[in-house]
Structure 1
Amino acid sequence: MQDVAVIFDMDGLLINSEPFWCNAEVEVLNELGVPLQLSMCNQTMGLRVDEVVSYWYAKFPWTAVSQSEVAERIVHRVSELVATTGQPMPGAVEIIQLCQQMHLPLALATSSPILLIEAVLNRLGLQDVFDVVSSAQTEEFGKPHPAVYLTTAHRLGVQPQKCVAFEDSIRGIVSAKAASMRCIAVPAVEDRKDPRFAIADVTLDSLAQINESWLKEFLT
């Protein structure tokens, strides 16, 4: 298995940050007159923050500040919430430790910007865990485009077909599969009945379900 690499998404998979994103987006965009409600945030789940802002600007344009400034405000607010109250998802730290024990190359491939990545890794004590950390913010296209996963595989020095991606969103799964990777999906409770998760190779209720024997068998 030494030529197999494991790549993790971040938001909603390793840390329970999706509520933070929703709260920050509603807070910041409401101030600009956008009638965004928490129930509407699933429309943009998995997108980069600049794409989220662009999505809502197209529907409810504002003039007070630039889209880039709005994106920065959202990221800073999410980072504050992560730093003060962020909690790991069940089994998240344990699965990363297991991958380390198995000497698997580890990477992070997320839609989040570097500022938030650093906040999350610091909060979870995972600052020095990943061999490669990639942000879709540096790509021309974010998820569901496969760019961030292809870049991550290249930086790991591993063929995409030899990579296994862990994802919690439909856009993330599409991104990983488009990069020719196997994908383990761990959707949120409210999304588990979504038939689109069938494109993942395996769908689990929690990362805590994974033990060494299960992972070895899947990676073989």
Structure 2
Amino acid sequence: MKERQKAIIFDMDGVVVDSEHLWAQAEYEVFTALGVEVTEELALITKSMTTIGVASFWYERFPWEKTTLQEVEELVISRVIALIEAEHCEIAGIKLFLMQLKAKGYKIGLATNSPYRIIPAVLEKAGIADYFDTIASAEFEPHGKPHPGIYLSASKKLNIDPEYCIAIEDSYSGMLAAKMAGMKVVAFTNGGSAVDLSLADHIINEYENHEMEAFHALL
């Protein structure tokens, strides 16, 4: 009897590429130029939001004139792409890890709150575009994470039921989204994390030298 097809679905920021500090830099540059008083405390609240959500968050507190939310969003996205292209920011070992998953017969997906325009820049930077069977961006969803919609969309595109999917996440909101979609969750810490990992079925600190057996045991 043929073994059932299974999938690994990756978050992007903090899981495929170490870009959270790049987002913080881009948002600081764009919003301060608009007269926003960006504080560390308030910026922490926006970390898990979509880009348009972040723009709305700051506009409600420090409304600016002339520039629309969509235009501001595009300014942030363009700056993030420029920083990604200029920085060495791909997560160590990600390419080999994807190769190993492919060799084991897993389908590979990407499910991110980031706008779609950033995704090709990230995958090309890391040299891993060819390993992904499907891509899902919250830009095309009614709601971003922690809503499960983006993970349900990814599993539907892969034609694999959520119960046979593992999500790799680095944030609590992402783990919650995957859990609510009915998936197993692997938390990726990249060597250290202050995030609540209580929803994780398994935890990995790095991709290099990680044993594949733990993944097989989850599904």
Q: TM-score with structure 1 length normalisation? A: 0.91
Within the candidate set 145, 148, 155, 1:146 is matched to 148
Q: How does 1:43-58 map to 2 (within 5 A)?
A: 43-58=45-60
Kindly indicate whether residue 65 of structure 2 is the aligned counterpart of residue 63 of structure 1: yes
Q: What is the DSSP-based 3-state SS (H/G/I as helix, E as strand, rest coil) of the residue aligned with 2:132?
A: coil
Kindly indicate whether residue 199 of structure 2 is the aligned counterpart of residue 199 of structure 1: yes
> Partner residue of 1:24?
26
Deviation at 1:89, TM superposition (A): 1.3
> Partner residue of 1:168?
170
Deviation at 1:42, TM superposition (A): 2.7
Deviations 1:80-100 (A, max 9, x none): 111121421133222211111
CA distance in 2, matches of 1:157, 1:197: 28
> Closer, same or farther in 2 for the Cα pair 1:38/1:84, shift >3 Å?
farther
Deviation at 1:205, TM superposition (A): 2.5
Within the candidate set 94, 111, 114, 1:112 is matched to 114
Within the candidate set 164, 183, 186, 1:184 is matched to 186
> Closer, same or farther in 2 for the Cα pair 1:38/1:21, shift >3 Å?
farther
Kindly indicate whether residue 79 of structure 2 is the aligned counterpart of residue 77 of structure 1: yes
Contact 2:17/2:91 (8 A) holds in 1 = yes
Contact 1:32/1:64 (8 A) holds in 2 = no
Deviations 1:33-77 (A, max 9, x none): 111145643322232111111122222222231111110000000
Q: What is the DSSP-based 3-state SS (H/G/I as helix, E as strand, rest coil) of the residue aligned with 1:208?
A: coil
Within the candidate set 111, 120, 136, 1:134 is matched to 136
Deviation at 1:199, TM superposition (A): 1.3
Deviation at 1:218, TM superposition (A): 3.4
CA distance in 2, matches of 1:32, 1:38: 17
Q: Say which structure is richer in helix.
A: 1
CA distance in 2, matches of 1:75, 1:90: 24
> Closer, same or farther in 2 for the Cα pair 1:149/1:36, shift >3 Å?
same
Q: Which amino acid aligns with 2:123?
A: L
CA distance in 2, matches of 1:217, 1:201: 10
Deviation at 1:209, TM superposition (A): 5.5
Q: Which amino acid aligns with 1:63?
A: E
Contact 1:22/1:38 (8 A) holds in 2 = no
Q: TM-score with structure 2 length normalisation? A: 0.92
CA distance in 1, matches of 2:191, 2:66: 37
CA distance in 2, matches of 1:62, 1:200: 40
Q: Which amino acid aligns with 2:206?
A: S
Deviations 1:93-141 (A, max 9, x none): 2221111111101111111112100100110111211110111100011
**Count, aligned residues:** 217
- Structure 1: segments with no counterpart, 5+ residues: none
CA distance in 2, matches of 1:189, 1:38: 23
